[in-house]
């Protein structure tokens, strides 16, 4: 079935973005701006990304108003923008086409000969960022859209002059099905977003639809049974990566150096290619590095360039990001919001030489908290002390009748507080020299992390 908006980018020049400051919207707007489109946008929240767009000369409004879309030929809105938004309503009244952000991402990717889309329940942001850094350092000059800020490019987007674009592909509400990638990457598949998918079977079916859209090659985690199940009826070549020797690309001689930074031998089909030393913690990042290495090697990046780029890779914003060290106390922040991610991050944290790990967790959505209740209790108990904030509702109402206090009752050494201010004051009292304070969650818990750093300065 043809996209109703196919080739619309060849017919228009004026595009308006509602919610332009969002992490998913901003990079698309930046790339289109660099390609010569006249971009305007609106957002109620003045963020760093919004300021960056303004600095580039884009016309950005700091409130939603029907007048903002007057010159638009196409309106793009983020998933957070509801149907009753006055700019959407004004566009509808004027007959201006309106599309959701994922549709625009698909249209943009279609403008590139080589579209590399990275999907998966976990690791897709880091893998996307790794591939971007490798291809950029090796002079492949890609464009990129990443779900988090990559320090190497000082942002979450890059505008290159080559025919290659690298993008993170999110499965929620089947968004990634808007993309037709030449190369599809699947890092892993697990139960998540059950408010939409309902069960694992439906998630696997969705990923199967995604990989079937790949026109060239599929790179998949061969150790992950769910990812393998998603390969049903695939007709293009498949390249596997993982820890097992059954994969095309795999890791041997895995070890963890100081601060739990992994090292491993990169192998391909039984032959050693090179030794890799990562500068980010956690064995789970070996999988991300394997996926990135496999894609880069396939794209004719030299082994030495892969090694050097991965060693220089220091992570992505909100992926075990060190925010400060005050009075011997280290504060870090991570996007982990699923039990598997939390387990991986906390396990890595316990190996980094800190006296204690204090986890500050903001549960993300009522549905996820209810669906994985026992799993959350188990993995959060890895920390020496856990502090819980209120559950972040996001798009939901609490039909599950669940609250953070319910979860706290199941976690050893757990404190439950309502506000970030209360949490920061608590951390100031209980944290000692040699401790790691690690904030985690898919919402705005990073605000709490920065507040903790500020209060520790005054300790």
CA angle 428, 382, 379 (to 5 degrees): 115
3-state secondary structure of 414: strand
3-state secondary structure of 214: coil
Task: Retrieve residue 199's tokens.
Answer: 């069960």
Give the C-alpha separation, 247 to 268, whole Å.
8
Q: How many CB atoms lie within 10 A of CB 329?
A: 24
Contact between 188 and 220 (Cβ < 8 Å): no
Give the active site residue among 40, 125, 340, 365: 125
Active site annotation includes 168:
yes
46: left (phi over 0), alpha (psi -120 to 50) or beta: beta
Give the active site residue among 30, 124, 132, 268: 124
Active site annotation includes 455:
no
Give the C-alpha separation, 409 to 377, whole Å.
9
Give the C-alpha separation, 26 to 51, whole Å.
11
Q: How many CB atoms lie within 10 A of CB 195?
A: 17
Could you give the C-alpha distances from 221 to 118, 187, 238, 242, 333, in angstroms and in order? 12, 5, 10, 6, 27
Q: Write b or e for each residue in 94-115: b if 16 or more Cβ atoms lie within 10 A of its Cβ, otherwise e.
A: eebebbebbbbbbbbbbebebb
Give the C-alpha separation, 207 to 218, whole Å.
12
Give the active site residue among 30, 87, 168, 191: 168
Active site annotation includes 125:
yes
Q: Which residues are catalytic?
A: 124-125, 168
């Amino acid at each position: 079935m043809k996209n109703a908006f196919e080739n619309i980018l060849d017919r228009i020049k004026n595009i308006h973005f509602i919610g332009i400051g969002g992490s998913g919207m901003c990079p698309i707007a930046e790339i289109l701006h660099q390609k010569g489109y006249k971009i305007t946008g609106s957002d109620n929240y003045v963020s760093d990304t919004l300021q960056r767009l303004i600095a580039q000369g884009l016309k950005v409004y700091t409130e939603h108003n029907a007048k903002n879309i007057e010159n638009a030929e196409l309106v793009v809105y983020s998933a957070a923008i509801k149907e009753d938004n006055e700019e959407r309503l004004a566009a509808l009244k004027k007959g201006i086409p309106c599309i959701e952000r994922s549709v625009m991402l698909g249209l943009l990717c279609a403008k590139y000969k080589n579209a590399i889309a990275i999907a998966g329940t976990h690791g897709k942001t880091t893998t996307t960022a790794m591939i971007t850094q490798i291809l950029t350092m090796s002079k492949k000059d890609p464009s990129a859209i990443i779900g988090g800020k990559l320090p190497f490019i000082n942002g979450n987007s890059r505008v290159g002059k080559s025919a290659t674009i690298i993008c993170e592909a999110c499965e929620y509400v089947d968004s990634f099905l808007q993309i037709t990638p030449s190369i599809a990457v699947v890092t892993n598949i697990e139960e998540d977003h059950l408010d939409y998918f309902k069960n694992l079977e439906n998630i696997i079916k969705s990923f199967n639809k995604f990989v079937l859209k790949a026109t060239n090659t599929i790179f998949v985690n061969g150790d992950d049974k769910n990812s393998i199940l998603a390969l049903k009826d695939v007709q293009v070549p498949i390249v596997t990566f993982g820890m097992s020797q059954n994969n095309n690309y795999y890791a041997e001689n895995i070890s963890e150096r100081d601060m739990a930074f992994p090292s491993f031998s990169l192998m391909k089909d039984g032959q050693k290619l090179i030794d890799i030393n990562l500068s980010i913690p956690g064995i789970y990042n070996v999988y991300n590095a394997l996926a990135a290495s496999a894609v880069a090697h396939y794209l004719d990046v030299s082994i030495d360039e892969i090694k050097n780029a991965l060693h220089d890779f220091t992570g992505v914003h909100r992926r075990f990001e060190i925010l400060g060290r005050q009075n011997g106390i280290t504060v870090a922040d991570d996007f982990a919001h699923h039990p598997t991610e939390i387990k991986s991050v906390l396990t890595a944290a316990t190996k980094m030489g800190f006296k204690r790990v204090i986890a500050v967790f903001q549960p993300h959505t009522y549905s996820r908290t209810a669906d994985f209740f026992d799993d959350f209790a188990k993995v959060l108990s890895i920390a020496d002390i856990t502090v819980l904030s209120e559950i972040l509702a996001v798009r939901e109402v609490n039909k599950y009748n669940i609250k953070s206090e319910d979860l706290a009752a199941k976690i050893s050494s757990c404190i439950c507080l309502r506000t970030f201010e209360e949490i920061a004051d608590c951390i100031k009292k209980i944290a000692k020299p040699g401790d790691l304070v690690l904030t985690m969650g898919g919402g705005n818990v990073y605000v709490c992390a920065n507040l903790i750093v500020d209060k520790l300065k005054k300790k």
